[in-house]
Amino acid sequence: MFPINIKLKKRAHKDIAYAQDLIVEELYDYLPEAVIHGGTAIWRCYQGNRFSEDIDVYIKKDKIRINKFFEHLEKKGFEIKKKRIKENSLYSVLKFNNVLVRFEALFKNIKNPILKEYENSEGIQINIFTLPPEDLIEEKLSAYQKRKKIRDLYDIFFLLRYIKEDKSINKDLKNFIKNFTPPEDEQNLKAIIISGLIPNSKNMLDYIRRWAK
């Protein structure tokens, strides 16, 4: 299997993937309890086929360690373009060479994260904490309902291959299908699928409907 930096076609995507790797390595040096979720977790930990440019994490609110994490990123060559810490969250934009990576965190304790291998851009596996596929699907169902993004529908479709029969997921998917409205950005999926056929929303909804029967 080819490493990520070979599979990615766009130079900017290759550079973002490398910057993400550096961030993740530093993250676990300073915040070892961090739980990575969202699109990047699906891509890197579940052999996803969709490029994701953000890093979303759950961490404890420890401002000292958080600030040390950012200080060390600066030493690695990152420029902190934005950094905003609120009561329950952190939002930042990091620049490395000519690319930007958003790093966002919620201050939340995750009780049962799972240990998974994160594939870096060179094909090397490193251990991180993430969410099980059932929880990632639940997050994506909620995200789609809020923002109607094609990438969230794709992630639901993709993750179902990792799920065996699950009554809770099945019920939530049936409700999702019942209340489904088309994505507002269908045309954007082509730019972020790494290889192979680009499914449309009807293809994916039909797959989800068959799974949920």
**What pLDDT was estimated at residue 167?**
79
8 A C-beta contact, residue 69 and residue 54: no
Q: Full-prediction pTM beyond 0.75?
A: yes
The answer for 46, left when phi > 0, alpha when psi is -120 to 50, beta otherwise, is: alpha
Backbone angles phi, psi at 117, to 5 degrees: -90, 125
pLDDT in tens, the chain (213 residues): 799 999 999 999 999 999 999 999 999 999 999 999 999 999 999 999 999 999 999 999 999 999 999 999 999 999 999 999 999 999 999 999 999 999 999 999 999 999 999 999 999 999 999 999 999 999 999 999 999 999 999 999 999 999 987 778 999 999 999 999 999 999 999 999 999 999 999 999 999 999 998
**What pLDDT was estimated at residue 168?**
84
| DSSP SS3 for 195 | coil
What is the rounded distance in angstroms from the CA atom of residue 50 to the CA atom of residue 59? Answer: 25
Q: Which domains does the chain have, with CATH numbers?
A: 4-131 (3.10.450.620), 134-211 (no CATH)
What is the rounded distance in angstroms from the CA atom of residue 113 to the CA atom of residue 120? Answer: 20
For the packed helices 63-75 and 11-30, what is the interaxial angle rounded to 10 degrees? Answer: 140
